[in-house]
Amino acid sequence: MTWSPSSPGFWRSPLRGPWLTSVLGVVLLGGITVLFVTGLVSYAAYNPNLAAVNDKTPDKGLLGFYLFSWPTRPHWLYRLDQGVHVTLGVTLIPVLLAKLWSVVPKLFTLPPARSLSHALERLSLLLLVGGGLFEFVTGVLNIQLDYVFPGSFYPLHFYGAWVFFSAFVAHAVLKTPAALRNLRRMREAGGELPVQASELVSPRPAAPTVSRRGALGLVGGGSLLLFATTAGQSFDGPLRRTALLAPHGGPDPGSGPNGFQINKTAAYAGIDAARTGADAWRLTVTGRSGTVRLSRADLARLPLHGAALPIACVEGWSTSDQRWRGVRLRDLAALVGHEDGPPDVLVDSLQLHGSFRRAALRANQVADPRSLLALYVNGEDLSPDHGYPARIIVPAAPGVLNTKWVARMTFGDL
Ligand SMILES: Nc1nc2c(c(=O)[nH]1)N[C@H]1C(S)=C(S)[C@@H](COP(=O)(O)O)O[C@H]1N2
Ligand SMILES: [Mo]
């Protein structure tokens, strides 16, 4: 007799069974729910409803129903949210793969559909498996390789999340009771693995090479290893050096006041040093009462304030609080006629190409006294790579809103 993947006897691992699938399923139930929530929250942090430049997923329609004005407190809000999203996502990869492996015989079942309800169940399974793989793969590619997508990462990951999570909820509603029952039975059996009739169990099991607990240990060990080589990217100092798998982890990013993580360098962004010098660079600020142009020396003569704030990137890495010093955004607003409470602002940089060369900030972000057009960091001039002559820094905001090499600020309701 020849065995094909659609016949149960083809799959021979004695590890497959309700217990392993249930344990992995319960872990994913919690983990993926956290990924979904932190992901939606992370997207809200861009203030996508504010201006076209912030909106990474045009045509989101109803899916954007939950968006809200991103707050500025606590100042580590985005750092925490996106750090959890990325680190947890990476950590769950072995669990996801093991879960798929544990149910793989079911994915090959023939005929594809025995009835309408069976057809619907299989369709939801297709969305679940396809959606899950799609979300994990796009997420990992985004943190590892930047942009390898036709178009943008954001719409793909955002729409994919809704498709995946819808199928996930349907699946969880159907399967969680059985999963919990399986685990309870196992506990009642005093830790003994009860033999159960299940289509997951191979009808002609091969000899085991590892116990189920051992298999679970391997998965857990893999997750732990990924966690241990990723989580450090959210910290400075020795911990960052442990983030071997993170593109912005590994060795210390230089030393000195500007020795903290850089995303895009000035060279990468095409910032010509000739345009940032004292003679060439002017900040153009426009508002209700007109336009002013300020040199860096002019800015340095305005009241300067300090704020200790991190850089926190969508890729999951972040820095600890850096000590920034510069002009309050609300003071700049007041300079051009918005003394009575600042409006939104559109910030443009010297950069000519690239999707992060401009960003819009909401009135609540402009109003926060810690929101600065920074000239200095940690007691020194900004380095070219950190945005010299001047950059935005806003509490709790994603890195992408902290525009570097600022050239123009336009205040007014966007
Ligand atoms: N002009 C400009 N500003 C920018 C970017 C950019 O590509 N161009 N990248 C943003 C992103 S995605 C991040 S995470 C932060 C990183 O700041 P840093 O390089 O000083 O750490 O800068 C932001 N400001
Ligand atoms: Mo970023």
What pLDDT is recorded for position 295? Answer: 98
Residue 95: its pLDDT value, please? 98
Quick one: which of 55, 74, 67, 58 has its CA closest to 312?
74
CB of 351 closer than 6 A to ligand 1? yes
Query: Which ligand 1 atom is nearest residue 261's CA?
Result: 21
Cα–Cα distance, 244 to 228 (Å, whole number): 9
Model-level pTM?
0.95
Average pLDDT estimate for 280-285: 98
Delimiting residues of CATH 3.90.420.10 domain(s) in the chain: 273-411
Q: How much is the average pLDDT of 291-299? A: 98
Distance 35 CA to ligand 1 centre (A): 24
Residue 147 has pLDDT above 60, yes or no: no
| Poorest-pLDDT segment among 174-183, 188-197, 269-278, 331-340 | 188-197
Res. 185 pLDDT band, cuts 50 70 90: confident
Kindly report, residue by residue over 8-22, the tens digit of the pLDDT. Answer: 889 999 999 988 999
Q: Tell me the mean pLDDT in the region 308-330.
A: 97
Q: CA–CA separation, 110 vs 157, rounded Å?
A: 31
Range in 44-48, 215-219, 255-259 with the lowest mean pLDDT: 255-259
CA of 24 to the centre of ligand 2 (A): 32
- pLDDT tens digits for range 393-404: 999 999 999 999
CB of 408 shorter than 6 A to ligand 1: no
Tokens of 38: 């932190």
Q: Above 90 in pLDDT, residue 189? A: no
Task: Using pLDDT thresholds of 50, 70 and 90, give the confidence band for residue 150.
Answer: low
Residue with token string 């051009």: 336
Tell me, using a 6 A CB cutoff, whether residue 261 lines ligand 1: yes
Ligand nearest the Cα atom of residue 259: 1
Can you give the pLDDT at residue 194? 56
User: For the domain 273-411, what is the CATH code?
Assistant: 3.90.420.10
